[in-house]
Amino acid sequence: MAEGPRPKRKHDEEEAEAAPHDGAAAVAPFPLAELRLQRVLRESARDKAVFLHGQVTSPSGEGTDAVVILEKTPFQEEKVLDLLKKHTKLELQMHNDIYSTYHLYPPPELSEIKTTVVYPATEKHLQKYLRQEVHLIRETWEDYKNITLPFIQSQSFSIQWVYNILEKKAEADRIIHENPDPCDGFVLVPDFKWNQNQLDDLYLIALVHRREVKSLRDLTAEHLPLLRNILQEGKEAVAKRFGVPGSQLRIYLHYQPSYYHLHVHFTALGYDAPGSSVERAHLLADVVDNLAMDSTYYQKRALTFALRADELLLKKFQEAGRV
């Protein structure tokens, strides 16, 4: 087990609890006790997570949709001794020779479940987390111009939350590193998937300041200074802040991305992060080499990615006879 990030001083914790995030208004806690469960969207035994669709009823009686993700957090080395010693109930399930299995019931303070809430949630959010059949798409540059790009331009994908981070209207206290250059700069922040209590599932996102670059398909040699800054400065920032060397990081872009503002993922190499599989992840170092070799590399080659059965983009490819 890896050692956790440097703990905050008590004074820092008290200040963080007492004040809202830089310029942001205090947010009322989500009314979890009032949530009416509608259905289980998906569960993952591998990730120890369950995705729930619920509704919160307003005083007028109207129900508002929410997505609640419950996820078991990884073990923290400094808390393992407490887990074994502090009023932990152990219940025998099976014994055979030298082998035994038990159910262990830790006290509440050692039973943390990371909870992510999307509220209010739209139908797009519900479909995103619903278990679906998936199909592999082999997208040529012509496909991108004639199918994918028109689809992106026709959709109203809200990325205001990205702009809030870049403009420091939200999460300013979470920024790990920033290069403020408007052309070749970026902001590095922890991803919501990571609670920052341990390094085993380290996950950060680099968001570029340039707003016109949507995805891998837009990149040319013009963007090499930006990409090299992310690669080099990002590794240095992670090593300085968390003590994780660049050789233990997986640094990559998604295609298709989950939102169309260029961003780069930094995850612990030993962590099987969602979306790190070969049909979606493109290592940043490889992207840099490809663009250095050919400025229009990503305007020429075919790219493979997976789409869920209910996604509108898949329907567009089916209508064009490409699936």
Active-site residue identified among 53, 209, 223, 263: 263
Q: How far apart are CA 138 and CA 51, in angstroms?
A: 29
3-state secondary structure of 323: coil
3-state secondary structure of 197: coil
Q: Check the annotation: does 209 bind a ligand.
A: no
Which residue matches tokens 């979890």?
32
Q: How far apart are CA 127 and CA 130, in angstroms?
A: 5
- CA distances to 75, 77, 299 from 231, rounded to whole Å, are 29, 29, 22
Q: Check the annotation: does 263 bind a ligand.
A: yes
Q: Check the annotation: does 264 bind a ligand.
A: yes
DSSP 2: P
Q: Check the annotation: does 193 bind a ligand.
A: yes
Q: Check the annotation: does 259 bind a ligand.
A: yes
**Contact 165/171 with Cβ under 8 angstroms?**
yes
Q: How far apart are CA 198 and CA 267, in angstroms?
A: 12
Q: Check the annotation: does 171 bind a ligand.
A: yes
Which residue matches tokens 């199918």?
147
Q: Check the annotation: does 254 bind a ligand.
A: yes
Q: Which residues contact 140 (CB under 8 A, 6 or more apart)?
A: 302
> In the β-sheet with 113-118, what is the strand arrangement from edge to edge?
35-44, 49-57, 63-72, 113-118
Q: Check the annotation: does 261 bind a ligand.
A: yes
Q: Check the annotation: does 158 bind a ligand.
A: no
Which residue matches tokens 């233990």?
248
Q: Which residues contact 160 (CB under 8 A, 6 or more apart)?
A: none
**Contact 105/88 with Cβ under 8 angstroms?**
yes
| 87 annotated active-site | no
One-letter-per-residue 3-state SS of 14-53:
HHHHHCCCCCCCCCCCCCHHHEEEEEEEEEECCCCEEEEE
Q: Check the annotation: does 262 bind a ligand.
A: yes
Q: How far apart are CA 65 and CA 166, in angstroms?
A: 28
Please enumerate, by residue number, every residue annotated as part of a binding site.
Answer: 161, 171, 191, 193, 254-265
User: So which residues are the catalytic ones?
Assistant: 263
Please enumerate, by residue number, every residue annotated as part of a binding site for substrate.
Answer: 161, 171, 191, 193, 254-265
